[in-house]
Amino acid sequence: MDKVRTRFLGYRLYRIKFIKIVGFVFLITTIVFLGVLAFLFNTWMNDLRQQAQDVFMERERRLANIRVWALDYTNGMYEDAKLMEDAAALFSARNMEEYIQARRNNSLNSRQQIGYLPGNIKKLLFWDSRKQITGVSLSSHAGVKAIWQELGDVRLQFGITDVESSMAFHEAGDMLVASYPVRNTEHMDQTLGKLSFWADSREIYECGAVPAQWALWDAQGRVLRDGGLAQEGGRFLSQLAEKEGQSGWLFPGEGMPVFFILQVSGESGYSFLVFKDVGAVLADNKHTVSVIVFAFVLVAMGVLACYYGGIRSDAAFLAMIMDMLSAMEGGNFARMQSLALPASARHRENEYGMIAAALKDVGMKLKGYIETEYILKLKEQESQMRALQHQINPHFLYNTLEMLRSKALVHEDRDMAEAIAMLGALYRARMRKKDTITLKEEFAFLEMYLKIMALRFGDNFVYQAELEEGIGEIPTVNFWLQPLAENFFAHGFGQESEYNLLTVNGYAREGGGEILIIDNGCGAAPSKLAGIRRNMREGNDQAEGDIGLRNVYMRLAYFYGDGFRMDVGNNAEGGFRVSIFIPGRVEDVHTDDRGR
């Protein structure tokens, strides 16, 4: 089983569930946010509509006042005979020369000072800023004249083709406010012409109180104030023409949607448009939108955090169950026993708690079963070994070895005699010793075996076996170093190699000792190392494996318990390496199972 993953997103079950809840929370939050934003937009647009209506009504009252002033001025002209004479001269003149000649004639025929209509208009209309009249045009059969003020002086222009052309003079104004006929005082049934009053649309409709763009056009469709309307494109104007209501949304095609309020003057026919796009609305209310976004994000994060806490708690419980399974699979029942179930009643009473409790109970029963089976197997092997020992007459073997040693000495073959002597000593030691010995004694037996192998192979084999002081009295099982050395002669020893080296060293470490068995053989293929380790820890318990790594690992693991570690691998310089750590103290030693 793979290593247990503690992060809950590592489990596909919880990962999919968490992704779904994140998507659901995001969807609901987005829908509610858009609903709130739509409500706020409706509120903001209602406020804008009300502001635009207030501004429009105030401008309508202002235009009505201007019309009243214009009418009062027109009626007041009839009270001044000299002014009417000058007005008649101006209406009938086609150019400045005719007007000057008419004024000269009026002056010769009158003993009083003659009137001057442009000056009177300047005094009574232009100089009074409340009236906001910026120009006056006179139209008659003799043509159109325009009167306006420029740099404090009154200007008079002849030769204008029509009344609307007077707008070409910027100071005269671009907005026709009112037009009244002027009659001949001597013949009231005759009309001298028409007197038209002009104003500047910017001064009239400038709506700084409305936070939006605005535009103005007259009844003939001439745009007086663009206000950025042309930038929206022709599609904007065409959509506006198709709209029947006074307000609504327009979609120009390029850019953001635009909200508009259109109001038409009932008397003058001027159209007043206020419009504002979505981007401008959001920019004006960015603080409100930011607070709402922050609030929704905070709520969404709170919901996800609550769900995250619950699902993480469940995942932690599942991770513990997976950890139990991993410990059972690796045979590490001590670790499984150390795992404690969470104290949360919510988990202990649900399916997770039932599974974990049952799994832990099964694991403990399995541990007891495996230990019982292993002890029975060891006892069976021990019985077989003792039965074999009883079948051999030790004295016969000792006498035979001594006879062979004597013959070797007679023939002066000292190496053979020494080998026979060490073999006899090794056999006597193994037969007399119990199953549990000290680490120092186990090293001594190993050195006897290595001396015999050195005599066998001569200069072709060199060994080193050293044990540091302080760990020699550590208890251990009998006969486990020699099988590891035999593995070297079986798999790592090179018959054709001139130099075969085997080192077995014991070092004192914190809490125990470390045994390193290193050779300079060919080592193991990298592709097979994982299999060697797996077979060492999880391989079968067949009898032919007693002298192998599996047998040594199982005997030491059972003897030392959790503190024991054993690993195998290749050296960087070449050869094979076995590393074993044994605890300095052995607790809960079953003396009956170890021959004491």
Do 152 and 191 lie in one domain? The reply is yes
* Dist. CA 489–CA 486, nearest whole Å: 5
pLDDT of residue 414: 72
| Helix (H), strand (E), coil (C) string for 368-417 | HHHHHHHHHHHHHHHHHHHHHHHHCCHHHHHHHHHHHHHHHHHCCCHHHH
483 domain-assigned: yes
Q: How confident is the model at residue 8 (pLDDT cuts 50, 70, 90)?
A: low
Q: Do 62 and 131 reside in the same domain of the chain? A: yes
Residue 347 included in any domain:
no
466 pLDDT band, cuts 50/70/90, is: very high
Q: What is the mean pLDDT of residues 313-337?
A: 72
What pLDDT is recorded for position 545? 39
Question: Is 396 among the domain residues?
Answer: no
> Which amino acid belongs to residue 245?
G
Q: Is there a single domain that holds both residue 236 and residue 200?
A: no
**Which stretch of 192-196, 343-347, 520-524 has the lowest confidence by average pLDDT?**
343-347
- Higher-pLDDT residue of 194 and 248 is 194
Report d(CA 253, CA 288) in Å as an integer.
Answer: 28
Structure tokens at 564: 């024991």
Strand partners, 154: 149
The domain boundary, picked from 204, 227, 245, lies at 204
CA 329 to the chain's CA centroid? 37
Question: Are residues 83 and 27 both part of a single domain?
Answer: yes
Q: pLDDT tens-digit profile of 52-103?
A: 888 888 888 888 888 898 899 999 888 888 888 888 889 999 999 988 898 8
**pLDDT > 50? residue 503:** yes
Angstrom distances, CA of residue 24 to CA of 18, 20, 21, 38, 497:
10, 6, 5, 21, 72
DSSP helix/strand/coil, 75: helix
504 and 560, same domain (yes or no): yes
Give dist(CA 127, CA 400) in Å, integer.
Answer: 150
Return the pLDDT at 353. 66
Q: What is the mean pLDDT of residues 431-453?
A: 83
The verdict on residue 567 lying in a domain is: yes
Helix, strand, or coil (residue 181): strand
The DSSP symbol for 114 reads P
Domains contained in the chain, number:
3
Which among 122-126, 128-132, 414-418, 471-475 has the top mean pLDDT? 471-475
User: Does the residue 398 lie in any domain?
Assistant: no
Tokens of 10: 């590592």
What is the mean pLDDT of the segment spanning 303-307?
84
- Whether the per-residue pLDDT at 174 is higher than 90: the answer is no
- Interval 357-366 mean pLDDT: 76
**Per-residue H/E/C for 408-430:** HHHCCCHHHHHHHHHHHHHHHHH
- Retrieve residue 91's tokens: 């209406």
Q: How many CA atoms lie within 13 Å of 270's alpha carbon, on the beta-carbon side?
A: 23
* Structure confidence at residue 423 (pLDDT): 74
Q: Does residue 474 register a pLDDT over 80?
A: yes
**In this structure, is residue 35 part of a structural domain?**
yes
Q: Can you read off the two tokens belonging to residue 485?
A: 């050395």
Rounded CA-CA distance 80/478 in Å is 145
What count of other Cβ atoms lies within 10 Å of the Cβ of residue 176? 21
Confidence of residue 587 (pLDDT cuts 50, 70, 90): low
Look at 510 and 8; give whichever has higher pLDDT.
510
Cα distance between residue 220 and residue 161, in whole Å: 18
Among 204, 227, 250, the domain-final residue is 204
Same domain, 121 and 80: yes
Residue whose entry in the numeric block shows the structure tokens 């998507």: 23
Q: Rounded to 10 degrees, what is the CA torsion of 202, 205, 208, 210? A: -140
3-state SS record for 347-367: HHCCHHHHHHHHHHHHHHHHH
Same domain? For 146 and 254 the reply is: no
Judgement on whether residues 175 and 226 belong to the same structural domain of the protein: no
pLDDT number for residue 594: 40
Whether residue 436 is predicted with pLDDT greater than 90 in this model: the reply is: no
C-alpha–C-alpha distance, residues 253 and 277, integer Å: 13
Strand pairing class (213-217; 271-277): antiparallel
Asked whether residue 357 is assigned to any structural domain, the reply reads no
What confidence score (pLDDT) does residue 161 get? Answer: 76
Residue among 435, 389, 447 nearest 558 (CA): 435
At 317, the amino acid letter reads F
The pLDDT confidence band at residue 230, using thresholds 50, 70 and 90, is low
For residues 74 and 151, membership in a common domain is answered with yes
- Domain of 236, in residue numbers: 218-282
- Per mean pLDDT, which range of 18-22, 351-355, 583-587 is the poorest? 351-355
Which one of 179, 204, 229 terminates a domain? 204
Whether residues 182 and 235 fall in one domain: no
Judged by average pLDDT, the poorest of 24-33, 214-223, 454-463, 569-578 is 214-223
168 secondary structure, DSSP code = G
DSSP 445-484: HHHHHHHHHHHHHGGGEEEEEEE-TTSTT-EEESS-HHHH
Number of CB atoms found within 10 A of residue 542's CB: 10
- Residue 5 is predicted with a pLDDT of 44
Distance between first and last Cα of the chain? 39
> Both 237 and 140 in a single domain?
no
Task: Express each pLDDT in 362-413 by its tens digit.
Answer: 777 777 777 777 776 776 666 566 655 555 556 556 666 667 667 667 777 7
Angle between helices 81-92 and 96-108 (to 10 degrees): 150
Q: In which order are the strands placed within the sheet that holds 153-160?
A: 153-160, 143-150, 135-140, 191-199, 175-183
- Kindly tell me if the per-residue pLDDT of 171 is higher than 80: no
CATH of the domain at 466: 3.30.565.10
Provide the residue count of the chain. 596
Specify if 52 maps to a domain. yes
- When pLDDT is cut at 50, 70 and 90, the band that residue 162 belongs to is confident
317 or 432, higher pLDDT: 317
- For residues 462 and 540, state if they share a domain: yes
pLDDT at 465: 93
